[in-house]
Chains A and B, each alone.
Chain A
């Protein structure tokens, strides 16, 4: 239960980060607060879109779904539901894989690092770890009785 609560909280923070980057992308925010990173180089690069969809929006949707599943998963009637564990692990793995790809683009193609993207990468890595732990350490279903 604690793990799912943590996943929901992390997904909410990730959702806020992705929303911030998406609001910049659609012009609501004029400038990204980035400190020493190269956020705008990354966000205005061709790699900031996938098939015409801003990567940040993909993040918004992904984190929103993870948040929703996390909240549903902490409800007592879904606490032992294996489908929730599998769904969380599956989505987190997809998100983690996508983040690995984006981080590789930053490091090896753009040679620029966006600290908000790094923040999101840390969040999805933590979610992925928790989701996998939830899947692996879940109690095995009771043997069927006759």
Chain B
């Protein structure tokens, strides 16, 4: 009987000690704030749709922004189906992480690092579909690594890319480009280079694209 209590106390002490130690160690901060002075690489954003599409839509978006997540999960599937898949629209995604969002630049980096392995849109969908990470305020680095693993990204390469902030310069260049175009909030859209003034709904995009397509005929 005594051995039982000794064992019980030993397990409790060892386990409790490990929990205490774990709670004292700070998690590695997500690299959100300082942007290294890397140069832009001339990248113009990941695209969906045919190069020959008559209408080009550029979206400036922020992965932590709830409106962007709502647009990506509610409107975008319809736009993909009705406008992008038939070859009417080419959609371009540009990063515009807002400074008020703690992890949006880190999320943009995660998406770019997945994009390096040909999985940008898959990561884009993971970040927006599982958007609860943006409400918790917790360091999402482990979660994003889970997303990367789920979509089939080589996690070692992904980790190396994220930790070196390989595409921080590219993201910053995208932000500067948006600022030069007077982007103030997200999501913001430009249709054939002109600011889109309609509502961010698939119906409004469809109406505009239909009218532009008729003009081209």
Contact = CB atoms under 8 A, between A and B. Distances in A.
Interface in B118-163: 130, 132-133, 136-143, 145-147, 149-150
Contacts of A20: 19, 22
A33 B145 CA distance: 12
Contact of B8 (A8, A31, A111, A112): A8
Contact of A46 (B19, B132, B145): B132
B19 A23 contact: yes
A16 B10 CA distance: 13
Contacts of A12: 8, 11-12, 15
A31 B12 contact: no
A38 B146 CA distance: 5
Interface in A29-49: 29-34, 36, 38-41, 44-46
Interface SS of B by simple majority? helix
A22 to B, nearest CB: 10
Contact of B136 (A39, A41, A44): A44
Given A46-B132, A74-B1, A28 B142 contact: no
A38 B132 contact: no
B146 A30 contact: no
A9 B8 contact: yes
B19 A19 contact: yes
A144 interface: no
B27 A30 contact: yes
B28 interface: yes
A40 B8 contact: no
Interface in B82-110: none
A44 B132 contact: yes
B26 interface: yes
Contact of A31 (B4, B18, B141): B141
Interface in A44-99: 44-46, 71, 74
Nearest to A30: B27
A16 B15 contact: yes
B182 interface: no
B7 interface: yes
A27 interface: yes
A21 B19 CA distance: 10
Nearest to A46: B132
26 contacts: A8-B4, A9-B4, A9-B7, A12-B8, A12-B12, A20-B19, A20-B22, A27-B137, A29-B23, A31-B27, A31-B142, A33-B22, A34-B146, A38-B146, A39-B142, A39-B146, A40-B145, A41-B143, A41-B150, A44-B130, A46-B132, A71-B8, A74-B1, A74-B4, A112-B146, A112-B150
Interface of B: 1, 4, 7-8, 11-12, 15-16, 18-19, 22-23, 26-28, 130, 132-133, 136-143, 145-147, 149-150
